[in-house]
């Protein structure tokens, strides 16, 4: 059994509010009686993409379990590489595979520099396909920032993952993928994509107010949220959502 925590959209911007919320979530996760096997962070870690925001993120996200991250549309690749990964600033999409408890977790870069909508570009799609092929015997999870489907709110739906059919076709060729994990929408949501569970992490910053809940999209009164994904020996993925008061 694999136990993963999943957070998203910290939007660290140097304000006390952002720092306090991220600190609260990390304190909750590191204080659990049973530690998670890993923590996934699906993008919008920084709000402006400044190096100082990644320096703060690196300190905040230090934990006794592996922390696996990918960029979102608010992240800036060179500063992300330098501040969060301690790597040279130059390079293309930031794609990483991690092996946790026999599961391959692919953290993929769906950001497009200078834009807020998303895309898994050809380099990333090729990397996903090759990596899944190399681990075809192991269960695999795919995580990135932009949902590949509409979530029934005009804000995220205008900024979702472009060309989702490419990903759909890729997933139909790799039967070891057990789920797709995303962020960006700032709402704890569950749906399906390519016949797989599609699970959206709640945000650490504000929560999306759905059209039937009111007009202003950003509800800053809601507490930060966390998803827990359990992958069992039958390769079934079960998700529990929590808020962190």
**Position 9 contacts Fe ion (CB under 5 A):** yes
Q: How many helices (H) does the chain have, and how many strands (E)?
A: 6, 13
How far, in Å, CA of 134 to CA of 155, rounded?
37
Q: Tell me the closest approach of the beta carbon of residue 78 to Fe ion, in angstroms.
A: 18
184 binds Fe ion (CB under 5 A): yes
How far, in Å, CA of 174 to CA of 135, rounded? 10
CA atoms lying within 13 Å on the CB side of residue 223: 11
**44 counts as binding Fe ion under rule CB under 5 A:** yes
Question: How many residues bind Fe ion, per CB under 5 A?
Answer: 5
Dihedral of alpha carbons 236, 232, 245, 105, sign = negative
Pinpoint the alpha helices (H) of the chain.
16-30, 51-60, 77-79, 122-134, 154-157, 164-172
Tell me the closest approach of the beta carbon of residue 233 to Fe ion, in angstroms.
34
224 binds Fe ion (CB under 5 A): no
x/- binding map, residues 99-138, to Fe ion, per CB under 5 A? ----------------------------------------
Measured CA to CA, the distance from residue 128 to residue 119 in angstroms comes to: 13
Segment contacting Fe ion (CB under 5 A): 25-33, 47-55, 67-75, 232-240?
Answer: 67-75
Q: Does 75 bind Fe ion (CB under 5 A)?
A: no
Nearest residue (CB) to Fe ion, 103 versus 187: 187
CB of 73 to Fe ion, least distance (A): 4
Contact footprint for Fe ion (CB under 5 A): 9, 44, 72-73, 184
């Amino acid at each position: 059994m694999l136990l993963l925590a999943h957070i998203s959209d910290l939007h660290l911007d140097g304000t006390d509010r952002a720092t306090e919320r991220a600190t609260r979530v990390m304190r909750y996760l590191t204080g659990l009686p049973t530690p998670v096997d890993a923590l996934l962070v699906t993008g919008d870690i920084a709000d402006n993409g400044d190096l100082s925001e990644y320096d703060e993120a690196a300190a905040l996200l230090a934990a006794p379990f592996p922390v696996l991250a990918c960029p979102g549309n608010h992240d800036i690749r060179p500063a992300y590489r330098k501040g969060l990964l301690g790597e040279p600033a130059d390079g293309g999409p930031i794609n990483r595979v991690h092996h946790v408890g026999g599961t391959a977790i692919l953290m993929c870069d769906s950001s497009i520099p200078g834009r807020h909508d998303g895309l898994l570009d050809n380099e990333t799609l090729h990397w996903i396909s090759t990596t899944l092929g190399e681990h075809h015997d192991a269960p695999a999870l795919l995580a990135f920032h932009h949902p590949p489907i509409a979530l029934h709110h005009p804000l995220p739906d205008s900024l979702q993952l472009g060309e989702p059919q490419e990903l759909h076709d890729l997933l139909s060729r790799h039967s070891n993928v057990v789920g797709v994990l995303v962020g960006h929408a700032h709402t704890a949501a569950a749906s399906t994509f390519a016949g797989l569970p599609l699970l959206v992490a709640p945000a650490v910053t504000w929560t999306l107010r759905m059209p039937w809940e009111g007009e202003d999209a950003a509800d800053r009164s809601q507490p930060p949220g966390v998803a827990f994904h359990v992958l069992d020996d039958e390769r079934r993925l079960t998700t529990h959502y929590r808020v962190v008061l």
